Structure 1
């Protein structure tokens, strides 16, 4: 039991579990979106957590962390990215392309 408590004690917002717990608090989620995007949000509705999108068998699927919708029917995909690795072949960072791919599938 102490091992479990120690593991929990060391978790941060970068942990998938903690990120989802924190973002499931409406007040915190709204505040984060407002601060990051410099907009005002009256309310949000949680659409889905851990949503998988698999376009077809030839393309790579994705798993979205949290999707919320605001009072103006705008949808937000909340993701926690801890690393921005480089593609070993091109030496380019992968996060920008991954973000564009996620957006394309959402569109």
Structure 2
């Protein structure tokens, strides 16, 4: 059995544990978002790690890795995805539609009854 030090040495940013630890560092998280999205972010606030959204008992729920919001109240869902697998039946990649579904459920969670869509 591997000792703990050896197990830790083998972890990368792709591991759930390391990804969450790295993204919990505000300076690193802001820098990553700015570089990926080519925007400037003054500050972020953390909402939740591993937030579950289940819109209905019969609907497919999701678990978001990390949710942050910037100083302009833009919400970001940070996920580590290492594989874009194909549906064996359709041969289409799953990640684009999975991303769309995650965004839709985030929007449901952000917009309260009676609020204007412009708030999204």
Q: Which runs of 5+ in 2 are unaligned?
A: 108-120
Residue aligning to 1:38:
38
Q: State the TM-score, normalized to the length of structure 2.
A: 0.86
Q: State the TM-score, normalized to the length of structure 1.
A: 0.96
Matches within 5 A, 1:1-107: 3-107=3-107
Q: Which runs of 5+ in 1 are unaligned?
A: none
Give the paired residue count. Answer: 107
DSSP-derived class of the 1:65 partner: strand
**Distance in structure 1 (CA, Å) of the matches to 2:62 and 2:12:** 23
The 4+ residue runs of structure 1 with deviation greater than 3 A are none
